[in-house]
Amino acid sequence: MFSKILIANRGEVALRIIRACKEMGIRTVAVYSEADASSLHVRYADEAICIGAPPSSESYLNVPSIISAAEITDVEAIHPGYGFLAEDAHFAEICESCQIKFIGPPPVVMRLMGDKMAAKETARKAGVPVVPGSTAVVNAKEDALKIAKRIKYPVIIKASAGGGGKGMRICHNDVRLVGAFLTAQREAEAAFGNADVYIERYVEKPRHIEFQILGDSHGHIVHLGERDCTVQRRHQKLIEETPSPSINGKQRKRMGELAVKLAKSVNYSNAGTIEFLMDQDDEFYFMEMNTRIQVEHPVTEMITGVD
């Protein structure tokens, strides 16, 4: 058990972490930008330190300032919350090198499951169904055309390091594919600093089901049921619902078992989410894993009563 932790975030998630820490008798250190000096998380934490100017690049993404604040206040751990540095494996490694516990999965797991192509291959090896598509990064439009011919149209091009719907293009024919492939690469490079893309069969009118995972450092992993996030706009989730009205008990059991199996195969620890797509024939496929707590985690908390 920690006696004091630093929260490298702001807003709702920082307040939730502070509340949990107070219930557990753990002291908290808030960090804040100059613009957030009067924010609630600053007022409710036991200690607070300013880490920079209002732009997040100069404060909440300013790793040297955050580590300095952690060392000055003599904390044992840093909780990243969600967003900002929550899925930054390099930041987690820096914490470890400074003998500060990063509250999240190990950096090697963050890197593995944060790369969508590597995560798909990991799922395939673990016996979890994946959407048919390329088995490696696709670098040339000629290769893209060959893959599309093999898996059949429509196909979707995705950024390997992507998220939030960026670097994605749906194609229904060869002509569209060539232009979309180059556009997706440019978008991926601009948004994520990584132009790698891969290709999958496009699942039309899918249901989007995600399972909440919790793992400790002793190899014990459980799931807390699913959230249905099918209702989206531009690949951004609008509504989260649990239990899902789209799956039955048998499907729920199988998907949950496979989610836990995949998490165990990479020695996952802490909170995470494993996402599946289900097609119109009720076949489901692993899509990606979020190696952090998600914004929508309170939906699961309301049903399970688990904090």
The pLDDT of residue 163 is 72
Cα angle, residue 166 at apex, residues 271 and 211 outer, rounded to 5°: 25
Contacts with 25 (C-beta within 8 Å, 6 or more apart), sequence order: none
- Are residues 118 and 265 located together in one domain of the fold? yes
The pLDDT of residue 279 is 96
Each of the 307 residues of the chain gets a pLDDT tens digit; together they read 899 999 999 999 999 999 999 999 999 999 999 999 999 999 999 999 999 999 999 999 999 999 999 999 999 999 999 999 999 999 999 999 999 999 999 999 999 999 888 999 999 999 999 999 998 899 998 999 999 999 999 999 998 887 777 778 999 999 999 999 999 999 889 888 888 999 999 999 999 999 999 999 999 999 999 999 999 998 889 999 999 999 999 999 999 999 999 999 999 999 999 999 999 999 999 999 999 999 999 999 999 999 9
Distance CA 175, CA 128 (A): 33
Closest by Cα among 83, 82, 76 to 102:
76
- Are residues 114 and 253 located together in one domain of the fold? yes
In tens, the pLDDT along 215-231 reads 999 999 999 999 999 99
Containing 110, the helix (H) or strand (E) segment is helix 107-114
- Are residues 118 and 145 located together in one domain of the fold? no
Beta strand extents in 154-240 (DSSP E only): 155-159, 169-171, 197-201, 207-215, 221-228, 232-233, 236-237
Helix, strand, coil percent values for the chain (each to nearest 5): 40, 25, 35
Contacts with 16 (C-beta within 8 Å, 6 or more apart), sequence order: none
Distance CA 241, CA 246 (A): 10
Total domains in the chain come to 3
- Are residues 145 and 62 located together in one domain of the fold? no
Instruction: Determine contact, residues 28/17, Cβ cutoff 8 Å.
Output: yes
Containing 28, the helix (H) or strand (E) segment is strand 27-33
- Are residues 216 and 285 located together in one domain of the fold? yes
Containing 147, the helix (H) or strand (E) segment is helix 141-151
Instruction: Determine contact, residues 229/287, Cβ cutoff 8 Å.
Output: no
Instruction: Determine contact, residues 268/214, Cβ cutoff 8 Å.
Output: no
CA torsion 17-23-26-28 (nearest 10°) is 40
Q: Is residue 292 flagged as an active site residue?
A: yes
* Residue 135, domain member (yes or no): no
CA torsion 14-16-17-21 (nearest 10°) is 140
Strands 270-278 and 284-290: antiparallel
The pLDDT of residue 269 is 97
- Are residues 242 and 177 located together in one domain of the fold? no
- Beta bridge partners, 155, equal 171, 201
- Are residues 216 and 289 located together in one domain of the fold? yes
Which is catalytic among the residues 10, 16, 169, 292?
A: 292
The one-letter amino acid at 152? K
* Residue 133, domain member (yes or no): no
Instruction: Determine contact, residues 242/303, Cβ cutoff 8 Å.
Output: yes
Instruction: Determine contact, residues 16/37, Cβ cutoff 8 Å.
Output: no
- Are residues 56 and 95 located together in one domain of the fold? yes
Residue that the structure tokens 């590597």 belong to: 118
In order of 32, 135, 262, the CA distances from 223 in angstroms are: 33, 28, 11
- Are residues 124 and 51 located together in one domain of the fold? no
Residues of the domain holding 119: 110-128+205-304
**CATH code, 118:** 3.30.470.20
Distance CA 252, CA 225 (A): 8
